[in-house]
Amino acid sequence: MRIQMTTAALVVALGLGFGACGDSGSSGSDVIGGDTTVTSDTTTTTDTTTTTDTSTTTDTSTTTDTSTTTDTSTDTSTTTDTSTTTDTSTTTDTSTTTDTTAPTCGALTLTGELQQYEDYPAYELEGNFGFGDATMNDVLSIEFYATDVGSFELGTGDNANYETCSQCVLVYADYESDSGATFFQTGGTLTTGAGQTPGDADFSVTLTDVSFEEVTVDGSTYVSTPVPGGACFAQSGATTHSTPAAPVCVPNCGDHICGADGCGGVCGDNCVGGGTCNLDGSVCEATPTCYQFTLGGAVLGADSGFFYYDASALELGAVDFMDVFQIEFYAASAGTIDLASATNANYETCEQCVLMYVDGDNDTPRIFYQSAGTMTLDATSDVDNGVIKAGFTGLHLVEVTIDASTFVSTPVVGGACIDVTVTSDLEAAPL
């Protein structure tokens, strides 16, 4: 796995109305009356040539004729024609505002020491590199998915995508923010330190002309996809980054006359004349005895289901390392609990577990686990929410190893032991 964030359309409708107009004439007849006073001959005053004749006031040449106001002179040259205000030479054309010109990337300067990720061949730089908010730090992550050493091109071949890269450099801008962007390599060179292998505690890399673009990373496939219009950054030149030099260990024996000095050596003659060094380094015993630890009325530190007491003042094992008494719950059960029951006899299966870590922050801590005793858990306890009131009787711890994968605890042959006497209930307040 990898280490692992309305176009509107406008329609215009035009309506054109057409009207026709016309008039019609009126016809009338005008009769001039004849009289009865005739001359009594055939040529009467009334003759065929009457005042009413065929040439009436209404004739075929009416005021309404074929040359009306609406006529065939409505032609294709209308007010809306092919030469409209919107034509093929539109404001949006093939010469768009987005072109092939590469964006200008921000300048980048990387500084700082490498810090190694625990359990991974990966390292990080932390600092304000200018990727985002100037008040927030960025994290540059260098991840190796191959043990190859030397110089490697970034941004080409398999290294062009986070899904397939063997040498991968990412930047988490404003990493403490929910809105910080992610950047992935687009170019440059990564060179590992001479004689060093990815995953070494003593390690260095040189980054030359590295560049980054803003991406999204699929949480399932790890495919990195550039963000359209996203930001980009580039560093000109080379910078070298190394893990901090290992601190110089200064032996400290305190009052111990035997046992470890904290730097791989021993205190005193370490019982060279015979006997076994007691857990607190105070005596060489011909017959080993269990260390006697008395605890009463202590206020425990708490996390959900976990309770602990810092016993470093006892200076068990090496002087300068931490000693911790710890109670763990994987099932809550008020009342009296047998710590040596079939379920609780091994750390792999325990529901109520008591341990003690001697030199707990050392690379090789010594672990002690319950083998006898009872715990009385008060009904007011709410272990999931950090509340406990517990007493112990006959609590006996033996030195064990615990498998990191199976959690099986195995007693150390000839190992040390601790008897814990709790004089009053141990308590912790709500989280």
Report the C-alpha gap between 281 and 259 in whole angstroms: 5
Query: Can you tell me the mean pLDDT for 389-394?
Result: 96
Which H or E run includes 39?
none
Greatest extent of the chain over all pairs of C-alpha atoms, in Å: 192
Q: pLDDT, tens digit, for every residue of 348-364?
A: 999 999 999 999 999 89
Report the C-alpha gap between 294 and 292 in whole angstroms: 7
pLDDT at residue 293 is higher than 50:
yes
Classified as helix, coil or strand, 339 is coil
Cα pseudo-dihedral 159, 164, 165, 170, rounded to 10: 100
pLDDT at residue 134 is higher than 90:
no
Query: Can you tell me the mean pLDDT for 231-249?
Result: 92
> Per-residue confidence at 174, pLDDT binned at 50, 70, 90?
very high
pLDDT at residue 5 is higher than 70:
no
pLDDT at residue 417 is higher than 60:
yes
- HSE (CB half, 13 Å, CA atoms) of 210? 28
Query: Can you tell me the mean pLDDT for 180-205?
Result: 95
> Per-residue confidence at 55, pLDDT binned at 50, 70, 90?
very low
Angle (nearest 5°) at CA 385 between 380 and 387: 40
Q: pLDDT, tens digit, for every residue of 311-345?
A: 999 999 999 999 999 999 999 789 999 999 999 99
Yes or no: say if 311 and 326 are a contact pair by the CB < 8 Å rule. Answer: no
Amino acid 56 reads T
Report how far Cα 384 is from the mean position of its chain's Cα atoms. 28
pLDDT at residue 31 is higher than 80:
no
Report the C-alpha gap between 145 and 164 in whole angstroms: 9
Burial tier of 321 (Cβ tally within 10 Å: 0-12, 13-18, 19+): buried
User: In sequence order, which residues have a C-beta less than 8 Å from that of residue 60 and are 6 or more positions away?
Assistant: none
pLDDT over 90 percentage in the chain: 66
Report the C-alpha gap between 102 and 84 in whole angstroms: 38
Residue 255's pLDDT is 95
| Window from 131-135, 222-226, 256-260 with minimum mean pLDDT | 131-135
pLDDT at residue 82 is higher than 60:
no
pLDDT over 70 percentage in the chain: 76
Residue 423's pLDDT is 96
Residue 39's pLDDT is 33
Please spell the DSSP secondary structure of 254-301, one letter per residue. TT-SSSB-SSS-BSTTTTTTSSEE-TTSS-EESS---EEEEE-SPBPE
Residue 102's pLDDT is 59
Which carries the bigger pLDDT value, residue 75 or residue 21? 75
Tokens of 145: 């998915």
> Per-residue confidence at 95, pLDDT binned at 50, 70, 90?
low
Q: How many CB atoms lie within 10 A of CB 133?
A: 15
Classified as helix, coil or strand, 100 is coil
Residue 3's pLDDT is 66
Locate the domains of the chain by residue range. 106-242, 290-428
- HSE (CB half, 13 Å, CA atoms) of 127? 12
Query: Can you tell me the mean pLDDT for 292-318?
Result: 94
pLDDT at residue 18 is higher than 70:
no
Report the C-alpha gap between 386 and 7 in whole angstroms: 55
